[in-house]
Structure 1
Amino acid sequence: MTPPAPAPPGDVSDGSSLAAFGYPQELRRQMGRYASFAAGFSFISVLTTVFQFFSLGFSFGGPLFFWAWPVVLAGQLLVAACFAELAARYPISGAVYQWSTRLSSPAFGWFTGWIVVIGQMVVVAAAALALQVVMPAIWSGFQIVGGDPSPTTATGAANAAVLAVVLLVLTTVVNVLDNRVMSALNRVGVTAEIIGAVLIVVLLFTHVERGAGVTLETGGRGGPIAALLVGSFTAAYVLIGFDSAGEMSEETHHPRRTAPRTIISALAAAGVLGGLLVLGGVLAAPSLSDGRLATEGLSYVLTSSLGDGVGKALLADVAVAIAVATLAIQTAGTRMLFSMARDGVLPCSSWLAKVSPRTGMPFGPALVVGVAAAALALLNFASPEAFLAVGTTCIAMLYLAYAGVTGPMLVRRLRGEWDWRRPGGSDETGRPLFSLGRWGLPVNVFALVYGLFMTVNLAWPRAEVYDPAGGHWYFQWFTVLFVGATVAMGAAYRWSRRRRGAVSQTADRGGQDARPGAEAEVVQA
């Protein structure tokens, strides 16, 4: 196993830097620093995810669930710091897959990428389903199916599926049009989301009904440990996807310098804003005991505390954020699928790896991700519990995939193959690459431990969380079963390829490692 490569010296073009890894420049580099930040921030999308999962956190954790937020943010910042080091050294689309492969082996990296691909498809579906949390609250006409709009009811769940499919059609069209259109929508959407989130925070804190001391109470929902463990689901779901800035490296100018900084800044900005939204919602809610906060979440706080007019205007901003988040997540999943297909390690790789010469977009992966996400969203017709099962499954899968990067990275450090004292090369401007220095080892250790702990916490088959009505044991075990099925399908596919002799040393081009003078060397699978 070779040590991670120093980057080429400064003044190297973005295209030649990519060529050093054995890939041609097919995607169009049109993204600057703010667009890169927007890619990560819009995937996280605090307005989408806080509004979507606030009620879950409060229903199980009471006001105390707020304190899970800073804990999860701290853990994810450790992971993001590790990713920032890797983004500076490996500025390639399909970031998590590429990083895991180059730090470990083609086989291990393939499974990490496979889990991310499936997980991101589930995240796209979960994000699109979030429209149900705000659209009927803006106008009752958006409850197309009729009946109770709450996502936990049969009619609310069915309507969520309808709205999600409509949104996914639109985001898929944008994802096959042009990189400039997608990037512009991301930038505009993120700007609107940040302005809206700041405005909501200010308004909530000017309408507080109680003091901050209430956040030390569970609301009679069990002990503090259980409240924090389940309450952490909200923060865990919100604070993912910051690696999207790395996913878009091949479309970003000066990615070795830009991506590491936007990965961390997108997470930090979203973490601070999201934490303030959660705290403001708890303090400004008209009541903590009438049950509405546990079912309607922040939508109830906005329309009740701020009035119908202001509340609905802010909810419209949230709807925009949900649409942009769905677009950004689908884009990230598309780039991951494209990166793996380009290495020839997926079914229909030749088709999935095609980039339109007219638009510069990989249209095949966009269609696959959109169709798969729509199919998952339609599970909501089966049962309201599907919403929660889909949401927590995608979080657990991404946490597991992140561990598939921080784990091999830690092994490299312990072997002395990632030595912070060695010169690490320079970025496109000639400045030193982003590095954690002497803090790299402890940050890496805690990032891995945190990631594995949260994966187990999210996947734990709690009947009171996943199957509160009883009679649907498969929802209780949904995350475990889905992850197991994903791994089994991946193993079966690789076995069939090997049996046909399709996997060879050169076919797994993703196994290329990078080192001075030999960045395109292929590592034995």
Structure 2
Amino acid sequence: MSLTGTDVLPEHSAADGPPAGGSLEAFGYRQELHRSLGGYASFAAGFSFISVLTTVFQFFGIGYSFGGPVFFWAWPAVLAGQLLVAACFAELAARYPISGAVYQWSSRLSTPSFGWFAGWIMVLGQIVVVGAAALALQMVMPPLWSGFQLVGGDPAPLSPTGAANAAVLGVILLALTTAVNVVDNRVMSVVNRVGVTAEIIGAVLIVVLLLNHSERTPGITFHTAEGSGDGVLGALLVGSFTAAYVMIGFDSAGELSEETHNPRRTAPRTILTALAGAGVLGGLLVLSGLLAAPNLTDGHLATDGLSYVLTSSLGDGVGRILLADVVVAIAVATLAIQTSASRMLFSMARDGSLPFSRKLSRVSPRTGMPVFPTVVVGALAAALLLLNFGSPQAFLAIGSTCIVMLYLAYSMVTGPLLLRRLRGGFSTRGDGVDETGRPLFSLGRWGVAVNAGAVLFGLFMTVNLAWPRTSVYDPEGGHWYFQWFAVLFVGASVVLGAAYRFRVSLRRRTRAGSGTEMPG
């Protein structure tokens, strides 16, 4: 918890550079989380949040249905933009290795109030991401074995029975990940590392096998979907959704900084390597799927995605084995995202910035885990899955909303960082060394250019993802709330956060006037 004993962020300005010393106490906090994660565990946290197998299998159909094969080219474009963001985050992770990365960075670069909103938007987005990741089981478990279609009927994720079954499978998974996440961070780390290793091996095997079963040349990626009236630009804008869904969460290495050995050196490297590795591997998955698909026009790619390609191109035996590996990847991704969200809740709560802060900031002395935040994240994510029972379109609404929230939160870090640079308040010269005695990661003279690119890309993608396209968010028509779901959810989140902040401010002024101290 905060050493200051107040309900505000311990003061420290980005203009001052990182505080002297490498300990957490230098930032005004006690070391309560157990510091036991190594370099590969830190990499695994970022890679498993991104989880190329989870999100490519989950959203391949969306990109293909609206863009056709040309949607592949949105992948390198999004990867390049996100690498700009990741480079900025790597600089901040080296200087502020604290849990609640986005919240902490934004608060120190701007004001505590602005940083609070960045953290608030980020944690809400993360909770929705947990639910969306758990829903991905529906894309692979019924194709793996029909017995996993517990509800019965059509297993297609957007059908009524498929959507209901996705919610059931998702709730079961969330119960398991919550249990793992409260046991011990060493157990969580082992599960994460084993899962990520299996995911990388499985993804490489899928790429190699699909390329060996290619039915066409890479030139097919210059074609749009038949009958598309939006042209290449429209196809790329909507096709970018798949890449945008995949390439988030690389900041997880920063979220686990307080649990990582040598975080000033480890976190920046793993933020960049996790994103770059996942980006390259995911791009190859998309390309190999397009090349190996038995048919591009029979509708299966748009509805069944890569699961269809695996089982039809590689045969049921090999295809099912690889689908089992995807199930592992989805489970580990859900675990990692829940871990990241719980650390964000914990970080904000120990500054007294959330309701029930005392409980949310409590760490088990035995396990070193913030138990209550983990349970809250799991419970809220499970509650969101109930939307899938009401309408299959909730699946897409949930996925789109969580991504918009995260891109907006990222921009609330890169924006203030750019303003600091332009005002000369963020200098990386002579600002210290990491735990090994080497200079901290720095963009040097490229800082302003990279940072400006990151801001422009983040804002563009936020608008692109949230744009209320009827064909994307309300294809059946007549459901305006689905068409505007992302905008409404972000707006409601800001209003709710503002109402809470106003209530807290009013209580603080009332207590100050009466001479009583508001508890942290």
Tell me which residue corresponds to 1:470.
477
Distance in 2, Cα, partners of 1:376 & 1:19: 37
TM-score (normalised: structure 2): 0.95
Once the two structures are superposed, residues 203-247 of structure 1 have per-residue CA deviations (whole angstroms, 9 ceiling, x without a partner) of: 010000001111000022230011000000000000000000000
Asked if structure 1 preserves the Cα contact closer than 8 Å seen for 2:64 and 2:225, the reply is no
Structure 2 counterpart SS, 1:20: helix
Distance in 1, Cα, partners of 2:456 & 2:388: 33
Once the two structures are superposed, residues 4-61 of structure 1 have per-residue CA deviations (whole angstroms, 9 ceiling, x without a partner) of: 344467xx5x5xx210000000000000000000000000000000000000000000
Once the two structures are superposed, residues 326-345 of structure 1 have per-residue CA deviations (whole angstroms, 9 ceiling, x without a partner) of: 00000000000000000001
Aligned residue among 433, 436, 443 for 1:429:
436
Tell me which residue corresponds to 2:71.
65
Aligned residue among 351, 359, 364 for 1:356:
364
Asked if structure 1 preserves the Cα contact closer than 8 Å seen for 2:213 and 2:313, the reply is yes
Distance in 1, Cα, partners of 2:295 & 2:461: 31
Asked if structure 2 preserves the Cα contact closer than 8 Å seen for 1:257 and 1:433, the reply is yes
Once the two structures are superposed, residues 116-148 of structure 1 have per-residue CA deviations (whole angstroms, 9 ceiling, x without a partner) of: 110000000000000000000000000000011
CA gap of 1:74–1:27, structure 2 versus 1, over 3 A, is same
Query: Does 2:110 correspond to 1:110?
Result: no
Asked if structure 1 preserves the Cα contact closer than 8 Å seen for 2:139 and 2:157, the reply is yes
Tell me which residue corresponds to 1:85.
91
Equivalent residue runs for 1:297-312 within 5 Å:
297-312=305-320
Once the two structures are superposed, residues 252-306 of structure 1 have per-residue CA deviations (whole angstroms, 9 ceiling, x without a partner) of: 0000000000000000000000000000000100000000000000000000000
Structure 2 counterpart SS, 1:297: helix
Query: Does 2:459 correspond to 1:459?
Result: no
Equivalent residue runs for 1:137-176 within 5 Å:
137-176=143-182
Tell me which residue corresponds to 1:180.
186
Distance in 1, Cα, partners of 2:215 & 2:15: 54
Shift of 1:504: 10
Amino acid at match of 1:128: A
Distance in 1, Cα, partners of 2:489 & 2:18: 39
Query: Does 2:106 correspond to 1:100?
Result: yes
Tell me which residue corresponds to 2:451.
444
Distance in 1, Cα, partners of 2:424 & 2:324: 52
Structure 1 counterpart SS, 2:215: coil
Structure 2 counterpart SS, 1:145: coil
Structure 2 counterpart SS, 1:150: coil
Distance in 2, Cα, partners of 1:502 & 1:451: 37
Shift of 1:507: 8.4
Shift of 1:175: 1.0
Amino acid at match of 2:85: V
Tell me which residue corresponds to 2:5.
none
Aligned residue among 308, 321, 330 for 2:338:
330
Tell me which residue corresponds to 2:263.
255
Distance in 2, Cα, partners of 1:344 & 1:181: 29
Equivalent residue runs for 1:201-240 within 5 Å:
201-220=207-226, 221-222=228-229, 223-240=231-248
Tell me which residue corresponds to 2:424.
416
Report the more deviating stretch, 74-83 or 424-433. 424-433
Asked if structure 2 preserves the Cα contact closer than 8 Å seen for 1:5 and 1:89, the reply is no
Structure 2 counterpart SS, 1:360: coil
Tell me which residue corresponds to 1:496.
503
Distance in 2, Cα, partners of 1:4 & 1:193: 41
Amino acid at match of 1:459: A
Asked if structure 2 preserves the Cα contact closer than 8 Å seen for 1:171 and 1:326, the reply is yes
Tell me which residue corresponds to 1:4.
15
Once the two structures are superposed, residues 457-510 of structure 1 have per-residue CA deviations (whole angstroms, 9 ceiling, x without a partner) of: 00000010011011211000000000000000000000111111179999899x
Tell me which residue corresponds to 1:136.
142
Distance in 2, Cα, partners of 1:250 & 1:446: 29
Tell me which residue corresponds to 1:367.
375
Shift of 1:360: 0.7
| RMSD of aligned Cα (Å) | 1.6
Structure 2 counterpart SS, 1:357: coil
Distance in 2, Cα, partners of 1:499 & 1:224: 52
Percent of residue pairs bearing the same amino acid type = 74
Structure 2 counterpart SS, 1:231: helix
Asked if structure 1 preserves the Cα contact closer than 8 Å seen for 2:474 and 2:483, the reply is yes
Aligned residue among 474, 488, 493 for 1:486:
493
Once the two structures are superposed, residues 42-84 of structure 1 have per-residue CA deviations (whole angstroms, 9 ceiling, x without a partner) of: 0000000000000000000000000000000000000000000
CA gap of 1:375–1:2, structure 2 versus 1, over 3 A, is closer
Shift of 1:314: 0.1
Query: Does 2:352 correspond to 1:344?
Result: yes
Amino acid at match of 2:271: I
Query: Does 2:290 correspond to 1:279?
Result: no
CA gap of 1:361–1:198, structure 2 versus 1, over 3 A, is same
Amino acid at match of 2:30: P
Amino acid at match of 2:385: A
Amino acid at match of 1:77: L
Structure 1 counterpart SS, 2:15: coil
Structure 2 counterpart SS, 1:294: helix
CA gap of 1:503–1:154, structure 2 versus 1, over 3 A, is farther
Distance in 2, Cα, partners of 1:270 & 1:476: 30
Shift of 1:358: 1.3
Shift of 1:3: 4.3
Equivalent residue runs for 1:386-397 within 5 Å:
386-397=394-405
Structure 1 counterpart SS, 2:498: helix
Give the number of aligned pairs.
503
Tell me which residue corresponds to 1:195.
201
Distance in 1, Cα, partners of 2:343 & 2:356: 15
Amino acid at match of 1:312: R
CA gap of 1:281–1:117, structure 2 versus 1, over 3 A, is same
Asked if structure 1 preserves the Cα contact closer than 8 Å seen for 2:128 and 2:381, the reply is yes
Shift of 1:439: 0.4
Distance in 1, Cα, partners of 2:310 & 2:85: 33
Once the two structures are superposed, residues 180-225 of structure 1 have per-residue CA deviations (whole angstroms, 9 ceiling, x without a partner) of: 1000000000000000000000001000000111100002223001
Amino acid at match of 2:45: A
Tell me which residue corresponds to 1:320.
328
Tell me which residue corresponds to 2:274.
266
Distance in 2, Cα, partners of 1:495 & 1:109: 15
